[in-house]
Amino acid sequence: MTYCEQGPAERVPHDARGRVAELHALHEQARNGPGERATKAQHAKGKLTARERIGLLLDQGSFTEVEPLRRHRASGFGLEARRPYTDGVVTGWGLVHGRTVFVYAHDFRIFGGALGESHAAKIHKIMDMALAAGAPLVSLNDGAGARIQEGVVALAGYGGIFHRNTRASGVIPQISVMLGPCAGGAAYSPALTDFVFMVRDTSQMFITGPDVVRAVTGEKITQNGLGGADVHSEISGVSHFAYDDEQTCLDDVRYLLSLLPGNNRERPPTVPTTDPVDRRCDRLLDLVPADGKKPYDVCEVIEEIADHGEFMEVQERWATNVVCALARLGGEVVGVVANQPRSLAGVLDVHASEKAARFVQHCDAFNIPLLTLLDVPGFLPGVGQEHGGIIRHGAKLLYAYCNATVPRIQLILRKAYGGAYIVMDSRSVGADLSYAWPTNEIAVMGAEGAAHVIFRKEIAAADDPEAMRARMVKEYKSELMHPYYAAERGLVDDVIDPGETRAVLIRSFAMLHTKQADLPPRKHGNPPQ
């Protein structure tokens, strides 16, 4: 084998076979990364390598890598002596359930997954490719933030990612999977995407780490206590899903992708179902108590009407008084927003309004029809809620529904009181169809409160105020809160047998499948913040 000069210290084979052999060797070196010792260190932390994660995410053998031989060109601080292939991020595309998905995965074994100029350029390229191809983008995040040795160019690299996240928002699904400690800029990109997945104990997100917090404020806290999976899935609402291990997490990423379209010009994939579309749901008659004061689990209602009882709840542990979920009805994907009576009686508050509003916006962006299951006693009263901006946050949900052009069906299970009834996709804000069960109570407020306001003087002047109060409550209910009051006035399209709910909904969504709706010409709206 003969060689020719290439650079001051490198020699390459001169003949074609030799060069092909060298090419394979370089690709093998890029695939192996920094070596077995670094891989063992990654595994010792309970974490998989970047390529192992990609292997779990994508269909077997479908991954095509982009720029595996990229290396940084920085110098100083010893960087010129360390120029590993891939530069700490693996990028490319593959298939999930036979559909194209783009992916990038930080390799923590190389520079701790920190982002430098070349590292960022690879991510920019794959993001641009995903947007051009109209396919989802999944980021597998396990990086230590900006590469300090490269200075401002690393920060500029993050800026390019943020810009592309924003441009792709509502155009292609973007999913961030947090699989290690991600601080500073590494946490902001996931916050701009549609869904955030986290793994307990191994993944954290924070803008400033525990050391900085302690130095500035004196507060002592661990990484998990500051920004772990449970913190972000229960307290901050940053994380949509939390898991105990990486494989289960990536399995659910695959499942979520099966429910989403490739881009905003497509509909979600239809899956043939063996669950009869006209299956009766008589169990619903017992699930929801007629007594509006008795709680129940609305997830059981969703389970009863969904194909094979399957649905994927989003942000299950945050703002638990409202449920947001993706399910299939007759093989078609729908987004479900439902009040949860077993948590704060299903009232709307600041967090529930935010959670539901963003879910509605996501469904509308990606052509996912909306089903709203209503059992709401109103907005949560209190100084804390008012000072926390319940007006502003409640308006977010109102804006999201009013702005949505996808098929929208409202189903009133039981209570529907006051402004919360209007906000939860009533006919007056644009729902295409509104159905109610015979147990529905649609009113400005509950009968007891209404009677106290309307008949306050009569009750006070009565010889037996309690008997008068009871009589007035009964009168108010019979006049304004009977199940057919709204139907008689066209505010509800029909009062239906709960057992027929699944069949009615599937027929109705099928009719709305070809719905066309246009918004007024504008650059963009100015939603409440």
What secondary structure does DSSP assign to 21-50, as a single string?
Answer: HHHHHHHHHHHHTT-HHHHHHHHHTT---H
Residues across the chain:
529
Answer yes or no: 180 catalytic.
Answer: no
Phi/psi of residue 178, nearest 5 degrees = -90, 115
Say how many Å lie between the first and final Cα of the chain, rounded.
Answer: 68
CA-CA distance, 23 to 29, in Å (whole number)? 10
CB 302 within 8 A of CB 373: yes
Residues 6+ apart with CB under 8 A from 391: none
The phi-psi region of residue 346 (left if phi > 0; otherwise alpha if psi is between -120 and 50; otherwise beta) is left
185 catalytic per annotation: yes
How distant is the alpha carbon of residue 267 from its chain centre? 18
CA pair distance 276, 334, nearest whole angstrom: 17
Are 113 and 88 in contact by the 8 Å Cβ rule? The answer is yes
Catalytic-labelled residue, pool 237, 419, 430, 499: 419
Is 430 annotated as catalytic?
A: no
Torsions phi, psi for 297 (to 5 deg): -100, 110
State the Cα–Cα distance between residues 334 and 300, nearest whole angstrom: 16
Catalytic member of 184, 331, 449, 499:
184
Instruction: Map tokens 């036979």 to a residue.
Output: 98
User: Can you tell me the distance from the alpha carbon of 116 to that of 10, in angstroms, rounded to the nearest whole number?
Assistant: 25
Strands 99-106 and 89-96 come out as antiparallel
Q: Is 324 helix (H, G, I), strand (E, B) or coil?
A: strand
Catalytic-labelled residue, pool 154, 168, 420, 450? 420
Residues 144 and 128: their CA atoms lie apart, in Å, by 23
Cα separation of 93 and 168, whole Å? 17
Check if 184 is active-site.
Answer: yes
Which is the catalytic residue, given 113, 157, 185, 446?
185
C-beta atoms surrounding 12 within 10 Å: 13
Catalytically active residues, by annotation: 184-185, 419-420
